[in-house]
Amino acid sequence: MTVDINQKLEQICRLFRIEGTYVTSELIQMGNVNKTYECKFILPDGTPKSFLVQNVNTYAFRHPVELMENIDKVTEHIRAKKPGQIALHFHHTEDRKTYVEDGKNFWRMTNYISSVTYDTPPNLELINNAGKAFGEFQMQLADFKPEDLFETIPDFHNTRSRFEKLLASVKADPVGRVAEVREELDWLLSVQDLACKLTDMQKAGQLPLRVTHNDTKINNVLFRKDSYEPLVVIDLDTVMPGLVGHDFGDAIRFAANRVREDSRDYDKAGVDLDVFKAFAQGFLGMTARTLTEAEIDTLALSCFVLTVELSTRFLADYIDGDLYFKILTPDHNLVRTRCQVALAKDMLKKMPQMEQIVRECAAEACM
Ligand code: GN1
Ligand code: MG
């Protein structure tokens, strides 16, 4: 990393009152939206210690101060339920702020938790534990008042409004990419009503609003290095009122896909039903007793919904000229779209089996 960024990061760390010798920082491959660095220090007593510094993407998060208020409340709520256990902790500046604004960027700092994350599950035990971790997270926030949370990204999982945004991008076609994506666009539009079912049911009062994580990729669970035990759920930027299906569906979309989210092997994309079952068992084991029948009935469909919804987001971003998601190649958002579309098609085929597995896991959890 350049001298400039090292200087900047050291300066941010000092504002969060870190003392000792700054050693270096490393950019961590984590997430598609914010930039994360591990900053390494030697503390005044001689021990090495790392901190995580994040540059929050204010194009995605337009109200970062309110976002930090949410995170503060949520982490405190969870810490109070698990005293003494490993938890996320945000550092404060001298004037008690959880962030530093330098005119251009918005920075925050957390404790560094020695752990591992997985983009693809190495075995079913791990995926079952990820299900438990997200299920437990949901239960920890069951008594948190949704109205105490600011909506960090309005209509985040409002699938109808995601389709509207896609159509607006198509109409504007700012960089002339629409012609190239007709096939994906037509397919997405052909499944619009089914994909909007959760949104419509929520609007009709048929599904309860809960406090949900809303970004449940398994790499948002930190695991112990020496076992497959989960330590803590991270990435709380989108903790907001939502539906249980948003968390279940997004987790399956990411973890149960046979290929990575942005794989070019479109014909290999599809749901691994063993992974689906292991996650469902873990998640429903924690939550099934508290869920309504309508919620349980929509869990399998929610996987399709979240996959189509994210396809519309990747495609809209491709059409917009890649403003939102970090990209590694010029066609990254197009590749992501194609992979998610292929996954969604496979989910439609496997819907009866997925529904059956959800019913069995829910029944087992309620015995
Ligand atoms: C983003 O930041 P990250 O990688 O955890 C996005 C999610 C998408 C995901 C797709 C705030 O999550 O909604 O599902 O990319 N987060 C935000 O990889 O937009
Ligand atoms: Mg995120």
3-state SS, residue 230: strand
Burial group, residue 114, by CB count within 10 angstroms (0-12, 13-18, 19+) = exposed
Average pLDDT, the chain: 96
Q: Indicate the top mutation candidate among 217, 220, 323 to test ligand 1's pocket, ranked by most ligand atoms within 8 A of CB.
A: 217
Q: Is the pLDDT of residue 1 over 80?
A: no
Question: What's this model's pTM, rounded to 2 decimal places?
Answer: 0.95
What is the per-residue DSSP string for 76-127? HHHHHHSTTS----B---TTS-S-EE-SS-EEEEEE----B--SS-SSHHHH
CB-based contact 98:71 (threshold 8 Å): yes
Tell me which residue has its CA closest to atom 8 in ligand 1: 215
Ligand with the closest atom to the CA of 157:
1
313 pLDDT above the threshold of 90: yes
Residue whose C-alpha is closest to residue 200's, from 111, 305, 116, 124: 305
Surrounding ion ligand 2 within 5 Å at CB are: 215, 235
The helix-helix angle for 124-140 and 64-81 (nearest 10°) equals 100
Which protein residues are within 6 Å of ligand 1, measured from CB? 31-33, 60, 215, 217, 235, 237-238, 261, 310
- For the stretch 59-113, pLDDT in tens is 999 999 999 999 999 999 999 988 888 999 999 999 999 999 998 999 999 999 9
Q: Find where tokens 């009709």 sit.
A: 204
Instruction: Name the β-bridge partners of 21.
Output: 42
Ligand at shortest distance from the CA of 36: 1
Q: Which residue has the tokens 């404060």?
A: 92
pLDDT tens track for 160-209: 999 999 999 999 999 999 999 999 999 999 999 999 999 999 999 999 99
Q: What is the pLDDT of residue 190?
A: 98
* Distance (Å) from CA 17 to ligand 1 centroid: 30
C-alpha 124 to ligand 2 mean position (Å): 24
Q: Which pLDDT score, from 0 to 100, does residue 84 have?
A: 86
The backbone region for 236, taken as left when phi is positive above 0, alpha when psi lies in -120 to 50, beta otherwise, is alpha
Using alpha carbons, select from 232, 201, 268 the residue that is nearest to residue 132: 232
Give 22's strand partners: 41
pLDDT digits (tens, 9 = 90+) for 15-64: 999 999 999 999 998 888 999 999 999 999 999 999 999 999 999 999 99
Beta bridge partners of 51: 39, 111
pLDDT at 218: 96
Beta strands in the chain (DSSP E): 21-28, 35-42, 48-56, 100-101, 106-111, 210-212, 221-223, 230-233, 240-242
Closest residue CA from atom 15 of ligand 1: 32
> Which residues, 6+ apart, have CB-to-CB distance to 4 below 8 Å?
none
> Which atom belonging to ligand 1 lies closest to the Cα atom of 314?
10
